[in-house]
Structures are given as C-alpha cells and as structure tokens.
Amino acid sequence: MDRTDTSLIALRRILRATELYGRDLARDAGLTAVQLRVLQIVAEKGHSTPTEIATRMGVSQATVSVLIKKLEGFSLLERHKSLADRRQTDLEITRTGRAKVDVAPDALQQRYVAQFEALPDWEQSMIVAVLERVAGMLDASDMPAEPVLTTGDILRHDQPG
Amino acid sequence: MDRTDTSLIALRRILRATELYGRDLARDAGLTAVQLRVLQIVAEKGHSTPTEIATRMGVSQATVSVLIKKLEGFSLLERHKSLADRRQTDLEITRTGRAKVDVAPDALQQRYVAQFEALPDWEQSMIVAVLERVAGMLDASDMPAEPVLTTGDILRHDQPG
DNA sequence: TTCTGATAGTTCAACATGCAAAGTAATAAT
DNA sequence: ATTATTACTTTGCATGTTGAACTATCAGAA
C-alpha cells in the first residue's frame, strides 16, 4: 500500500472517529449531535444568531430555525429580538444549556487535548505543521478559522436531562 | 495562541472542508452524501455486503438496508444472493453506478491526492506519520499507548530494507 | 413620504437519515 | 432435532434538511 492510500485511510479514521464519538457524547447529554453543535456555537460567546449558526454549520437558515425551536423547547436557549436590528434574532444560552455543554464537551477536545499535550515538544510542532498543511490542501477557500472552545472541566454525568 | 488550539483549529478545518465538499460533490451526482458513500464502498472492489457497509459507515444494518433499496431503485446497485452463504446479500455495482462514482469521486481523493503526491518524499512521510498518530489518538477507545513516534519511524517508512 | 429591493427569520411540505423492534431465512452448534 | 446465531429486511417513529412561500424589518431612491 502506498503512502497516498495510507494517508487517506488515516484521514478517514480521523473523520469517522470524530463523527461517531460526537454522536455518543451528544447522546450522553440527551441531545443529538446536531443539537449539541448548535448549543456549542451559542455557548462560545454566550449568544449568537441563526445566520451565524447556519454559516458555521454549513446548513440553511431553515434548518437552523427548526433546531433552535427544539432547543428553545428544551429551555436550553432563549430567543430575543435584537434591539439594534429588529430583523435579527438574538440567541442566548440559558443556565441549563450551559450545563449541558459543560457536561458534553466537544468531541475533539475530550479525546485529543490531553494526549496532544502529553507529547514531547518536537512532536507537537510536527503535528501542528502537518495538520495545517493538510487543512490548507483541503479547504481551498480561505475561510476564517473557527474559534476554539475554552476547555472547562471535563466531567461525565451520564444523565439525560 | 498555543499549539493545542492551533492543531484543533486545523483539525476542524479538515473535518469541515471534507464534509461540506462531500455534500457538494454528491449533489452534483444527483445523490446525497450518504448514498454516494455507500456507492463508493461498493465501487472499491466492485462488490460488497450490507454488513461490511454498515461497519465501515458506523450505522446499523437497518439503515444500510434502506439505502441499498434506494440505490437499487436507481439502478446503481444490484442485489444477489450469495452462493457461498445464502443468508448474505452480494451487492454489485452496475455500469451506471460506476459512472456515478467516476463522475463524483471521493471528496478527499479529489482535493487531496494530487497535492499530496506533488510533495517531496520526506514531507509525504511526515504527513503519513502524523495523520496515523492523530487517528490513533482519536479512534482508539482502549488506547493501548502506541509507541511514540521517532524520527526513525519517519525516515524508515516506505523505504526499502 | 412612499416605493423598491435586500436582509433576517419562520413555517410548511416533502424527502432523507437513523434506529429499535419484529420478522424471515439460512447456517452453526449441541 | 432443537436451539442459537447470523445476515438481512421491513416497519414505525423521531430527527434532519431543504426549497418555496411568507412576514417583518431595514436601507436607499425618487
């Protein structure tokens, strides 16, 4: 097997592991992966808008609208009319929503961070260089990098809400 | 920004670019991303089974069964009883199905392969080593501490002797 | 002011995805 | 022969996704 195949397989393992593990984490929180992702985006800054979420997730506004409705029904988010521009809906995460996000941290964070930080210095540097190289190869369009969630305590409460 | 954040951002760029671009490619072929993925798996060897597809994709057999039915309806796949074990269904890709896969190649393939193969030998080796390392960090549930990479691994990878 | 066009968001119909549970059929084990 | 296991399908139900149609708001032009 040549190196091209080997690297493709490794990439697919990364994609698959992240997807499957993300599903598990969401289920632990009593949410679906997509719902949790919406909540995480709002949680980053504590507030957001449907348009921002749609852009970040790569889905339509219509889709986001439905998801938000659901999360609002769970009392994890609140909708308010924006004062600056009354067309906009300002989304705010609730205390309950914040708790969910803390309980079900980002899949990559949970699996990756601890291991990465345990690596020797030179290896961390190498990984960063390669990942950025590969990311550049894949996302031709220069998109703004997503901000990183701040890592809180990683706790596991296997309790649906 | 520290290296942990940098590497997480790069990883997310990889995940996002692959997902969004995969959706676009599938739509160009008149299929959904999931349907195309099934077709690609069958196309690899020209045939497959529902169980293999379910395992590879990380979904249940029931889900695969529905997808296959759909693809069969489009005349992209054919179902045959396996002769060796009549419980098994042997899936064969049709000429039409093969054409679809050729037109809408794998998202990673299309964006990644040409660029990867243009890289110098040492950089290809480095990428392979890092991607496998990261994949191992993400997809191993038991995590039996694979030996840490050494420069020797990189240099010796894919070399004679 | 009023008109026009653009923007932000929602709703609805229709279809896709995903799974558990129940069922069929064939094989393996005893 | 009987039982258990394996491979797969079907069905019912919840969720995800979008385009199209709609409301509301804003921004600019006449």
Answer CATH for B3-105 from 3.30.930.10, 1.10.10.10, 3.40.225.10, 3.10.450.50: 1.10.10.10
Q: In the 8-state DSSP scheme, what is residue B32?
A: -
Question: Could you check: is the Cβ of residue B81 within 7 Å of any atom of nucleic acid strand D?
Answer: no
**In which residue are the tokens 């809180």 written?**
A152
pLDDT for the residue numbered A1: 60
CA atoms of A8 and B19, how far apart (whole Å): 15
Question: Could you check: is the Cβ of residue B50 within 7 Å of any atom of nucleic acid strand D?
Answer: yes
Taking CB atoms within 8 Å and a gap of at least 24, the contacts of A139-143 are: A139/B13, A139/B14, A139/B16, A139/B17, A140/B111, A143/B13
DSSP A49-110: -HHHHHHHHT--HHHHHHHHHHHHHTTSEEEEE-SS-TTSEEEEE-HHHHHHHHHS--HHII
Q: How near does any CA of chain A get to the CA of B66, in Å?
A: 20
Indicate the pTM of the whole model: 0.75
Torsions phi, psi for B77 (to 5 deg):
-135, 160
The pLDDT of residue B145 is above 50: no
Kindly list the residues from chain A whose CB atom is less than 8 angstroms away from the CB atom of residue B5: 148
The 3-state DSSP composition of chain A as helix, strand, coil percent (nearest 5) reads 60, 5, 30
Residue A24 CA distance to nucleotide C26 C1' (Å): 34
Is A7 in contact with B131 (Cβ distance < 8 A)? yes
Rounded average pLDDT over A145-149: 36
Reported as a single tens digit per residue, the pLDDT across B7-57 is 888 888 888 888 887 888 888 888 998 999 999 999 999 999 999 999 988
Is A14 in contact with B138 (Cβ distance < 8 A)? yes
Comparing CA positions, the residue from B139, B5, B144 lying closest to residue A111 is B139
Q: Which two tokens stand for residue B91?
A: 């899936």
pLDDT for the residue numbered A80: 95
Q: Which nucleotide is nearest to A67 (CA to C1')?
A: D16
CB crowding A37-48: b at 16 or more within 10 Å, else e: bbbbbbbbeebb
Residue A52 CA distance to nucleotide C3 C1' (Å): 31
Is A108 in contact with B8 (Cβ distance < 8 A)? yes
Report the greatest alpha carbon distance in chain B: 59
Reported as a single tens digit per residue, the pLDDT across A20-68 is 778 777 887 888 889 999 999 999 999 999 999 999 988 999 999 999 9
Closest-CA residue of chain B to A110: B138
CA atoms of A134 and B7, how far apart (whole Å): 11
Question: Could you check: is the Cβ of residue A88 within 7 Å of any atom of nucleic acid strand C?
Answer: yes
Q: Nearest residue (Cα to C1') for D14?
A: A32
Percent with pLDDT over 90 in chain B: 49
Q: How near does any CA of chain B get to the CA of A37, in Å?
A: 13
CA atoms of A131 and A11, how far apart (whole Å): 10
Q: What Å distances lie between residue B68 and B50, B71, B105, CA to CA? A: 8, 5, 19
Kindly list the residues from chain B whose CB atom is less than 8 angstroms away from the CB atom of residue A145: 9, 12-13
Contact B33, B23 (CB under 8 A): yes
Cross-strand partners of B7: none
By DSSP bridging, strand A89-93 and strand A47-48 are antiparallel
Torsions phi, psi for B89 (to 5 deg):
-105, 125
Kindly list the residues from chain B whose CB atom is less than 8 angstroms away from the CB atom of residue A17: 135, 138-139
Contact A156, A28 (CB under 8 A): yes
Reported as a single tens digit per residue, the pLDDT across A73-100 is 999 999 999 999 999 999 999 999 999 8
Residue type, B108: L
Is B125 in contact with A3 (Cβ distance < 8 A)? yes
Residue B147 CA distance to nucleotide D14 C1' (Å): 44
Closest-CA residue of chain A to B6: A128
Comparing CA positions, the residue from B27, B89, B19 lying closest to residue B54 is B89
Residue A139 CB partners (closer than 8 Å, separation 6+):
B13, B14, B16, B17
CA atoms of B36 and B57, how far apart (whole Å): 12
Q: Which nucleotide is nearest to B57 (CA to C1')?
A: C18
Contact A39, A97 (CB under 8 A): yes
